[in-house]
Amino acid sequence: MSANPASIGFLLSGGGRSLENMHQVIEQRSIAASIDLVIASRPGAGGLERASRLGIPHQVHRCKEPAASHQIFQALDDAGCQFALLGGWLRKLEIPQNWLGRVLNIHPSLLPLHGGEGCYGDRVHQRVLEAGESFSGCSVHFVDDDYDHGPVILQQRVAVEAKDSVEDLAQRVFEAEKIAYPRALELVLSGEVKFERR
């Protein structure tokens, strides 16, 4: 790892599987980054226990209204974080101008399909199956002020099988996410991908 790894804050609302995977991949691949703060949107989020086990400082910011986003970005600034990664974060954020291009999210579909308000987790996979689509996958994108709207960094496709349940598809998409999210982070850190306003 480089002498000055990029400092990352990780935002979550649930169990924190993406947090733990990112932490492991950063170490295994010597990605020049360090997860230095975890922020959860609720006190009972399982990701807080994972953060504690991984030795990562953590806080709770409920962020019930987008206007409360400033508290989150203040916490990230105070911790010296240069980037924020969302992994199962279920609150709408207002991104400060100086944070545009530094906030990434992973979504369990091939955006713009099955994105937007209310489209998260198993709800997304249910919609994919109901639509009879042959492929699903995941998308890593820059975050702007709209749900699942910012410019896409990369996508990874996953075949939808005829007998898939929601759980089957969710598991295969998560396996793709475990590859796609660290790769997208590397592309951003290297400068190969840059945020451009739409």
Known catalytic residues are 107
Q: Is the dihedral of CA 68, 66, 198, 113 positive or negative?
A: positive
Instruction: List strands edge to edge, sheet with 135-142.
Output: 58-60, 33-40, 6-12, 83-86, 103-107, 135-142, 152-159
Give the span between the Cα atoms of 39 and 50, in whole angstroms. Answer: 12
Cα separations in angstroms, 131 against 6, 118, 135: 40, 17, 11
Give the span between the Cα atoms of 14 and 182, in whole angstroms. Answer: 19
Let me know: does 181 contact 107? Beta carbons within 8 Å.
no
| Bond prior to 151 in cis (omega within 30° of 0) | no
